[in-house]
Amino acid sequence: MAVRNTPPNASAMLESLRGLGYTTSTAIADIVDNSISAGASLVDIRFEWADAQSFVRITDDGLGMDDPELESALRLGAKDPRDSRSKDDLGRFGMGLKTATFSQARRLTVATRKAGGAIACLRWDLDRIHEGEAGQWPLFEGPEAGSEPRIAALDTMEQGTIVLWETLDRIVTQGFKPTDLADLVEQVDSHLAMTFHRLIGPRLTILLNGRKVQPWDPFLLGHASKRWESDEYRLAGAPDVLVQCHVLPHRDFFPKPEVYDKAGGPAGWTSQQGFYVYRNERLLLPGTWLRLGERGKAWTKDEPHRLARIRLDIPNTADAEWKIDILKSTAAPPVRLREQLARLARETREKARDVFAFRGGRAASAPSTSGALPDVWNARALAQGTTYRIARDHDLVASILDRAGPMRDEILSLLRLIEETVPVQRIWLDTAEDKEIPRNGFSAAPDKEVLETLETMFDVLVRHRGLSEDEARSRLAKTKPFDAFPALVGQLALKD
């Protein structure tokens, strides 16, 4: 059988790889992955403004490489993704260093040294790739003329690596200004703080333009008002996959608006809900429902479930099964694990919706609501959709109807009119625009107004329902929204 060799055109291939879809933030994170895999404890990232000569430099104190190792690292497809690798390795395809760089810059220089060894330095230059003969992929030795000072720090380092991006044509575009670079640095900071939050600290320090990157914890571990934090689960059939479910506090439990906004994450509360997929404690996907859902319909990110976040740890041996892509930006759980994940997600979503709808109160008090008055509103699921009706058996409503006499029909008509004119669409629109449910539950009412309603309810329960005063107080103390006002309930007493 005749066989032909058809090597790709180097220039065309590298230009095509530039369109994989990296952002500057995700590209920088890929370089940091390499530093961590090399055992670095310090990664120093610098964005230097010099108009068209601007550059980005990433320096780490990892083990470094000798010349043959560097050449291998700069070869496209340096690793076979099917090969076994260290459990701590954050890479898979052997492409990240090159594809991440080329998505942002046209020149990549890497200078590195092992402890006790000589400095090795090689570079890719997309503007000079055509200088190789047909079928060749030329790597140039040493930095570009004039760029030597940019890697000079390695001269005084015992070991480590410097990655230098130059000709930043995908960053410094027409009209790009120093203020734009400052904004970009802030975006990178937020992304690194989220992506490496479990590694930053005793194990890793990341400096960005001289400032330490502070970790952003999506699960608010240790927050006193956190509504729910599950045990850590191991999935049946996949003991290396760990899951922990979290429901975050309601907005009312944050001391300051800026603290609440920060807890929302880089993309905001609604966008940050869902599974957080980690590999070796490195965040791959920040907030996704993994195309899971119910009744054949995938869950979407919506307001009622924005407090739900689920940590999901997978080993690096599961990359292929979970379909982790080269950008580390997508994942798909194996079919055999989907039902377990969906069940955990369903429980978390229900708890999160409860906290969102009841301002954090119901989750805390649900176990002790036996004996409370019935809700004023009842929801009924019909074929045409859910309807909401005022409970005719609610103690106050029933008492009024019992004593209404000839006005009973008018009162029933009024209740029906209220039920049919609840401004559901307006409430939903206000909720979506304000990112918060409308205020209710006497949240903004003075104690005097709350007490007036309580006294009326108390009188109904004692005089018309035959409860003792202690029984009436006990029931009101367990009933929404009065359970938020125990002091007012405690001072209730029957008046002459």
Highest mean pLDDT among 257-266, 377-386, 415-424, 427-436: 257-266
Whether 198 shows a pLDDT value over 80: the answer reads: yes
- Does residue 478 contact residue 372 with C-beta atoms inside 8 Å? yes
Whether 382 shows a pLDDT value over 60: the answer reads: yes
| 16 in the same domain as 68 | yes
Lowest mean pLDDT among 78-92, 198-212, 336-350, 388-402: 78-92
| 398 in the same domain as 415 | yes
Q: Would you state the pLDDT for residue 92?
A: 42
| 18 in the same domain as 149 | yes
- Is residue 256 in a domain? yes
| 325 in the same domain as 205 | no
Whether 89 shows a pLDDT value over 60: the answer reads: no
Q: Give the tens place of pLDDT for each residue, 149-176.
A: 999 999 999 999 999 999 999 999 999 9
Q: Pick the last residue of a domain from 329, 363, 397.
A: 363
Place of tokens 């079919």: 335
Question: 216, 161, 226: which is closest to 186 by C-alpha?
Answer: 216
pLDDT tier for residue 255 given thresholds of 50, 70 and 90:
confident
Q: Give the tens place of pLDDT for each residue, 41-57.
A: 999 999 999 999 999 99
| 412 in the same domain as 468 | yes
pLDDT (average), residues 129-148: 86
Whether 365 shows a pLDDT value over 50: the answer reads: no
d(CA 98, CA 107): 10
Whether 127 shows a pLDDT value over 60: the answer reads: yes
| 414 in the same domain as 325 | no
Q: Using a pLDDT cut of 90, give the percent of the chain over it.
A: 63
Q: Would you state the pLDDT for residue 225?
A: 86
- CA-based radius of gyration for the chain: 31
- Is residue 5 in a domain? no
pLDDT tier for residue 356 given thresholds of 50, 70 and 90:
confident
- Is residue 136 in a domain? yes
- Comparing 58 with 368, the larger pLDDT belongs to 58
Q: Give the tens place of pLDDT for each residue, 15-26.
A: 888 888 899 999
Lowest mean pLDDT among 77-86, 159-168, 174-183, 427-436: 77-86
| 375 in the same domain as 323 | no
- Extended strands (E) in 315-440: 377-382, 385-390
d(CA 173, CA 416): 62
pLDDT tier for residue 380 given thresholds of 50, 70 and 90:
confident
Q: Would you state the pLDDT for residue 362?
A: 45
| 155 in the same domain as 32 | yes
- Is residue 265 in a domain? yes
Lowest mean pLDDT among 85-99, 260-274, 277-291, 343-357: 85-99
Q: Would you state the pLDDT for residue 94?
A: 57
Q: Would you state the pLDDT for residue 7?
A: 79
Q: Using a pLDDT cut of 70, give the percent of the chain over it.
A: 89
Torsion angle defined by CA atoms of residues 29, 34, 40 and 42, in that order, rounded to the nearest 10 degrees: -30
- Residues ≥6 apart with Cβ < 8 Å to 447: 485, 488
Place of tokens 């938020």: 484
| 201 in the same domain as 56 | yes
Q: Pick the last residue of a domain from 305, 333, 363.
A: 363
- Is residue 401 in a domain? yes
- Is residue 3 in a domain? no
**What is the domain extent for residue 62?**
10-212
Whether 204 shows a pLDDT value over 90: the answer reads: yes
Whether 218 shows a pLDDT value over 80: the answer reads: yes
Q: Pick the last residue of a domain from 212, 237, 255.
A: 212
Show the tokens assigned to 259.
């603290």
- Is residue 345 in a domain? yes
Question: 436, 430, 431: which is closest to 257 by C-alpha?
Answer: 436
| Mean pLDDT, all residues of the chain | 88
Q: Give the tens place of pLDDT for each residue, 402-424.
A: 999 999 999 999 999 998 898 87
Whether 104 shows a pLDDT value over 80: the answer reads: yes
Question: 308, 289, 309, 311: which is closest to 300 by C-alpha?
Answer: 289
Whether 187 shows a pLDDT value over 80: the answer reads: yes
Q: Would you state the pLDDT for residue 227?
A: 85
- Does residue 338 contact residue 261 with C-beta atoms inside 8 Å? no
d(CA 479, CA 476): 5
d(CA 459, CA 490): 14
- Is residue 4 in a domain? no
Q: Give the pTM.
A: 0.75
| 401 in the same domain as 262 | no
- Comparing 419 with 93, the larger pLDDT belongs to 419
- Comparing 205 with 10, the larger pLDDT belongs to 205
Q: Please give the tally of structural domains in the chain.
A: 3
Whether 79 shows a pLDDT value over 70: the answer reads: no
Q: Give the tens place of pLDDT for each residue, 278-335.
A: 999 999 999 999 999 998 899 999 999 999 999 999 998 898 899 988 877 788 999 9
Whether 360 shows a pLDDT value over 80: the answer reads: no
What is the widest separation between alpha-carbon atoms in the chain? 108
Show the tokens assigned to 56.
């980005």
| 239 in the same domain as 172 | no
Whether 435 shows a pLDDT value over 60: the answer reads: no
Cβ burial 5-38 (10 Å sphere, 16+ → b, else e): eeeeebbeebeebbebebbbbbbbbbbbbbbbbb
| 146 in the same domain as 21 | yes
Whether 446 shows a pLDDT value over 70: the answer reads: yes
Whether 439 shows a pLDDT value over 80: the answer reads: no
- Does residue 376 contact residue 391 with C-beta atoms inside 8 Å? yes
Indicate which CATH number applies to the domain containing 88.
3.30.565.10
Instruction: For residue 258, give the amino acid letter.
Output: E
